[in-house]
A = this chain, B = another copy of it.
Amino acid sequence: MTQHKVISFETIRVACRNCNLATLCLPMGLCPEDVERLDGIVKRSRPLHRGDYLFRSGERFRSLYVVKTGSVKTYSPSEEGGEQVLGFHLPGEIIGLDAIEKDCHICSARVLETSAICEIPFARLEELTCCIPSLQHQMFRLLSKEIGHDTDMLLLLGKRNAEERLAAFLLSLSRRLQKRGLSPYDFYLSMSRHEIGNYLGLAVETVSRLFTRFQDEGLLHVDRKHVMIRDISGLESIVGHQPLEGNQQRSS
């Protein structure tokens, strides 16, 4: 193993106390001592590569997973190879919370690019939450946050047209990247147009046309996976543009 590899491996296997995601992740609000206890149950594997599975639908639920670096998509596969993309997960986001109830994964998760993932065995986590009230509270908050996020998506899919959906998607990415200390205006998409369309309930062609349109309107510049947002308030006004007067408003 070369020196270079050792260094990069170490930066990935960083302990919770040194992790720059601590304010987003499970350790949020914990005292240093409790962070160490949590750290003690976290498993850090070697980096996964594009297409690798964190877990598959139907598998027994054992652990929660947190993205340390990279990105992950979760999706609900159906018989004939079709799928519904349920989410794209960035560093600090927890995956697998939906599996607790049935003790079995109801969706699949695979990484979109080379990613470092922390695994948290749930049985051991529950032992800790029992004796660390602030950790239990944080778990409740994280579960609740996931519900709130799903609620937002329901609103998006139930009431927004194609343009509003893509604008909301790009803004969501932008804001989440910013929270992680990255540029909110200049980033690379780790998912395909196909996956974006699937996630937003739109056809690939519609997504493609909207990217072109947004570029023509000066809202952003796109070059393949590279997105540069030129007019963030323009995007915001598309999303904020909430008709919702009576009831049905799939279209503008």
| Shortest beta-carbon distance from A77 to chain B in Å | 9
Q: Which residues A99-124 have CB closer than 8 A to chain B?
A: 99-102, 106-107
Copies in the complex: 2
A43 and B91 alpha carbons, distance in the complex (Å): 41
Tell me if A's interface is mostly helix, strand, loop or mixed.
helix
Say whether, besides A150-B154, A158-B201, A126 and B140 are in contact (CB < 8 Å): yes
Count A-side interface residues using an 8 Å CB cutoff. 59
Q: Assess the A101–B145 pair: CB atoms within 8 A.
A: yes
Say whether, besides A78-B244, A101-B144, A133 and B136 are in contact (CB < 8 Å): no
Q: Assess the B148–A84 pair: CB atoms within 8 A.
A: no
Q: Which residues A40-90 have CB closer than 8 A to chain B?
A: 76, 78-84, 86
Q: Which residues A195-252 have CB closer than 8 A to chain B?
A: 197-204, 242-250
With a CB–CB cut-off of 8 A, which chain B residues contact A141?
Answer: 100-101
Q: Assess the A147–B148 pair: CB atoms within 8 A.
A: no
Q: Assess the B154–A84 pair: CB atoms within 8 A.
A: yes
A157 an interface residue at 8 Å Cβ cutoff? yes
Say whether, besides A82-B246, A159-B201, A140 and B143 are in contact (CB < 8 Å): yes
Name A's B-contacting residues (CB within 8 A): 76, 78-84, 86, 97-102, 106-107, 126, 129-130, 133, 136-137, 139-148, 150-151, 153-155, 157-159, 194, 197-204, 242-250
Known: A82-B243, A86-B151, A201-B250. 5 other contacts (CB 8 A): A97-B147, A100-B144, A126-B136, A143-B144, A150-B151
